[in-house]
Amino acid sequence: MSQQNDTYREIRDVLQVSIGFVSACCQRYQEQGIEGLKLNYWGTQVTMSGKSGQ
């Protein structure tokens, strides 16, 4: 077993995510640096509809 796989497993256990997620994040970091780790999720815009919106 490689040292990298051991590290991925430790990260997986701490963050409670899949090894695939850890691997993808590491790959993005290697390719894009810290910018690759920033969240691209902006959330959803909530709008009120109807006449009774408060």
The count of residues in the chain is 54
Supply the Cα-derived Rg of the chain in whole angstroms: 18
Q: What is the pTM of this model?
A: 0.62
DSSP 28-51: HHHHHGGGGGS-----------ST
Question: For residue 16, what is the DSSP state?
Answer: T
Angle at the Cα of 20 from the Cα atoms of 26 and 5, rounded to 5 degrees: 70
* pLDDT (tens digit per residue) in 32-46: 999 988 887 767 777
What is the band of 1 on the pLDDT scale with cuts at 50, 70, 90? Answer: very low
Q: Where are the domains of the chain?
A: 3-37
Mean pLDDT (the chain) is: 82
The larger pLDDT score, comparing residue 39 to residue 22, is at: 22
pLDDT of residue 40: 72
The pair phi, psi for residue 6, each rounded to 5°, is -60, -45
Give 46 or 13, the one with higher predicted confidence: 13
